[in-house]
Amino acid sequence: MTRLRPAGQLSRQLRTFSSSSRLTAAANVQRLGVVGAGQMGLGIALVAAQKAQVPVTLVDNSEASLKKGIAFAEKLLAKDVSKSRITQEQADQARALLTPETSLEKLSDVDFVIEAVPEIAHLKFDIFSKLAQICPKHAILATNTSSISITRIAAATTKDPTDTSASSRVVSTHFMNPVPVQKGVEIISGLQTSQDTLDKAVEFCKAMGKIPSVSADSPGFLANRILMPYINEAVICLETGVGDRDSIDAIMKNGTNVPMGPLQLADFIGLDTCLAIMKVLHGETGDSKYRPSVLLGKMVDAGWLGKKSGKGFYDY
Ligand code: NAD
């Protein structure tokens, strides 16, 4: 049976919804596209449906990922209802706003698209060159990349660098994991990004209930420039025997008041993602302080990617 929220909470939520609608309108978003229905893309699509209340076309080239993603969204909505955070009607409305698709061609009517495919540069370049062709000429083309240069992604939209009609609409909306929980989002401009694009990205992220931080297109941006060397150093402490897994996680968890230690956090982010970001930091700065841990590379080689593959520093 559906439990209703106390009246005060509901009216607060309605106020949030109406201010979200104003922000969604300010960003001029009638329909959102999300590419990639993995842990980030699914979270982005769900929060956009719930908070910004926009219809979302969710594209993934894998039927299995789409099915898994939609089932996970339904589970999260059911949990919100059971905890009286939302009503059953609100859960049904949010679910109805999500349309799963397997073809990028279905993004021909979106005003804003957010790409969240794996952190592989050539894959993102290929998708952005296609999005520039498929999406309407006013659409904002955003990436959730953790580390790849926004300027390079924007450059992939055109063969003529003097034609900035598409590249000026490319921006990064770098959401944090898990998207339904973390309030922060980094908004990053490439060299080509227009002020209008940046403003719309900020407005739309606010409509999604997020708190944007604007940062420069520099390797790792802000969040990963700080977070990933911390995780990498924890793995180096493990591989060189400075401490075992539990000691490393316990001291950081209990000593710095964070919800989980760096090794568990790495498992949640995905060890492949962590390694990819360290490689970008190391490769683009040439600074040895960003050298990826050998153990991290070996674990990725073994397919031990953390929570998503069932094994990482912990077993799942
Ligand atoms: P993921 O592996 O969970 O999901 C990626 C999804 O993209 C999969 O469902 C896959 O089927 C789909 N995909 C692959 N190729 C595709 C294609 N050509 N067209 C459409 N869909 C395709 O990855 P994730 O953890 O959600 O990460 C996605 C992006 O978000 C990466 O750029 C990552 O760096 C970034 N990011 C990740 C985190 C994190 O904590 N995991 C945090 C912030 C940003």
The CATH code of the domain that includes 43 is 3.40.50.720
pLDDT-derived band at 23, boundaries 50, 70, 90:
low
> Where is the domain boundary, 181, 216, 251?
216
Question: What is the domain range of residue 108?
Answer: 32-216
pLDDT category of residue 10 using cuts at 50, 70 and 90: very low
45 shares a domain with 189: yes
Query: 135-191: per-residue pLDDT in tens?
Result: 999 999 999 998 899 999 999 999 999 999 999 999 999 999 999 999 999 999 999
Query: What is the spatial distance between Cα 9 and Cα 39, in angstroms, rounded to a whole number?
Result: 29
Helix, strand or coil, per DSSP, at residue 70: helix
Q: Kindly compute the dihedral angle of the four CA atoms of residues 176, 4, 76, 16, in this order, to the nearest 10 degrees.
A: -30
Q: Is pLDDT above 90 for 213?
A: yes
Percentage of residues in the chain having pLDDT higher than 70: 92
Say if residue 255's pLDDT is above 90: yes
Reply yes or no on whether the pLDDT at 13 is more than 90: no
| % residues pLDDT > 90 (the chain) | 90
Residue 20 placed within a domain? no
- The Cβ of residue 181 has, within 10 Å, a number of other Cβ atoms equal to 10
Closest Cα to atom 40, ligand 1: which residue? 269
| Same domain membership, residue 45 and residue 126 | yes
Residue 90 lies in a domain: yes
Pocket probe for ligand 1: among 60, 114, 183, 231, the residue whose CB has the most ligand atoms within 8 Å is 60
What pLDDT, on the 0 to 100 scale, is given for residue 18?
A: 54
Cβ of residue 100 lying under 6 Å from some atom of ligand 1: no
- The Cα–Cα gap between 108 and 110 comes to 6
User: CB–CB of 49/98 below 8 Å?
Assistant: yes
Give the number of the atom of ligand 1 that is nearest the alpha carbon of residue 36: 7
Do the domain assignments include residue 8? no
Residue 29 corresponds to which amino acid?
A: V
**Residue 62 CA, closest ligand 1 atom number:** 11
pTM of this prediction? 0.86
* Ligand 1 atom showing the smallest separation from residue 268 Cα: 40
Whether residue 210 sits in one domain with residue 234: no
Asked, for residue 16, whether it belongs to a domain, the answer is no
Mean pLDDT, to the nearest integer, of 24-40? 88
User: Structure tokens of 153?
Assistant: 């992604």
C-alpha neighbours within 13 Å on the C-beta side of residue 163: 8
Within a domain: 24: no
Q: Domain check: are 169 and 234 in the same one?
A: no
Q: How far apart are CA 184 and CA 73, in angstroms?
A: 20
| Cβ–ligand 1 contact at 173 (below 6 Å) | no
51 and 151 assigned to the same domain: yes
| Structural domain includes residue 4 | no
Structure tokens at 139: 């659409």
Domain count, the chain: 2
Contact 188, 152 (CB under 8 A): no
Q: Which residue's CA is the nearest one to ligand 1's atom 1?
A: 38
Which of 191, 216, 241 is the last residue before a domain boundary?
Answer: 216
Cα separation of 162 and 193, whole Å?
13
Q: Is 22 inside any structural domain? A: no
- Residue 121 inside a domain? The answer is yes
Would you put residue 189 in left (φ > 0), alpha (ψ -120 to 50) or beta? beta
* CB-ligand 1 contact for 120 (6 Å cutoff): no
Query: Interior CA angle at 296 toward 294 and 301, to 5°?
Result: 95
pLDDT average, residue stretch 95-119: 97
Closest CA relative to residue 217, chosen from 158, 269, 154: 154
Asked if 235 and 142 sit in the same domain, the reply is: no
Shared-domain flag, residues 98 and 191: yes
Per-residue model confidence (pLDDT) at position 14: 43
Does ligand 1 come within 6 angstroms of the Cβ of 40? yes
For the beta carbon of residue 19, count every other beta carbon within 10 angstroms. 13
pLDDT value of position 2:
34
Is 38 labelled a binding residue? Answer: yes
Q: Which residue has the tokens 């021909």?
A: 108
What is the domain-level CATH number for residue 296? 1.10.1040.10
**In terms of domains, do 151 and 298 share one?**
no
Rounded Cα–Cα distance for residues 246 and 234 (Å)? 11
What's the burial of 285, exposed, middle or buried (CB within 10 Å: 0-12/13-18/19+)?
middle
Question: Could you give the 3-state DSSP secondary structure of residue 71?
Answer: helix
119 with 192, same domain: the answer is: yes
Determine the pLDDT at residue 26: 59
Q: Which residues are catalytic?
A: 146, 174, 186, 224
Task: Give the CB-side neighbour count of residue 217, counting CA atoms within 13 A.
Answer: 21
Residue at a domain's end among 216, 240, 271: 216
Judge if 245 and 206 occupy the same domain. Answer: no
Shared-domain flag, residues 230 and 273: yes
Contacts of 301 (CB under 8 A, 6+ apart): none
How far is Cα 191 from Cα 216, in angstroms, rounded to an integer? Answer: 10
Cβ–ligand 1 distance for 146 under 6 Å, the answer: yes
Dist. CA 259–CA 310, nearest whole Å: 21
- The verdict on 241 and 287 lying in the same domain is yes
